[in-house]
Amino acid sequence: MRMNITPLPSPASCRRPFRDAIAANALLVAVTLLVPTGTAMANADCQGRFQTTVQPIMNTNCVACHQDAAPADGLSLQRTAAPASLIGKESRGSSLPLVTPGNPARSYLYLKILGTHLEAGGTGARMPVGRALAEADIKRISEWISECKAG
């Protein structure tokens, strides 16, 4: 009597589905970590718009005092620090964050520029010291904050 014996799979072929599953999971994790989520993309877009729209205003009106070497009130507005030093960061002069994404009225930076920061429990002088920003510049800063997404 002759028996048909099916050969067992080789150890290498047994490991292949397992190895493929690990590779697929590793790829999924890598993609999840590397591809920005909607919030991260919104924040990246917000930061990009800051550099093109708001940073020139800061360079002209604010960086002389708020520069990296010795920033007034610990706030640097130089290109290397802003907007990361602003978005969602605590203010030293108020309980409000410096910039609340999507909400200029809850953004201490904006209130300081308007000169309404004292009404919100803030301290110190209107910024920039000694003069007001041009209305067009104030509007651009307000629009930037409004267009940023919370994250």
Q: How many CB atoms lie within 10 A of CB 72?
A: 15
Please give the average per-residue pLDDT across 4-10, as a whole number.
Answer: 61
Q: Are 76 and 66 in contact (CB under 8 A)?
A: yes
Q: Radius of gyration over alpha carbons of the chain, in Å? A: 27
Confidence of residue 149 (pLDDT cuts 50, 70, 90): confident
Instruction: Give the mean model confidence (pLDDT) for residues 110-137.
Output: 95
pLDDT digits (tens, 9 = 90+) for 42-90: 477 888 899 999 999 999 999 999 988 888 888 889 888 888 889 999 9
What are the residue boundaries of the structural domains of the chain, listed by start?
Answer: 38-147
CA distance 80 to 41: 20
44, two tokens: 């990246």
What residue has token string 């790829």? 27
- Residues 93 and 108 sit within 8 Å (Cβ to Cβ): yes
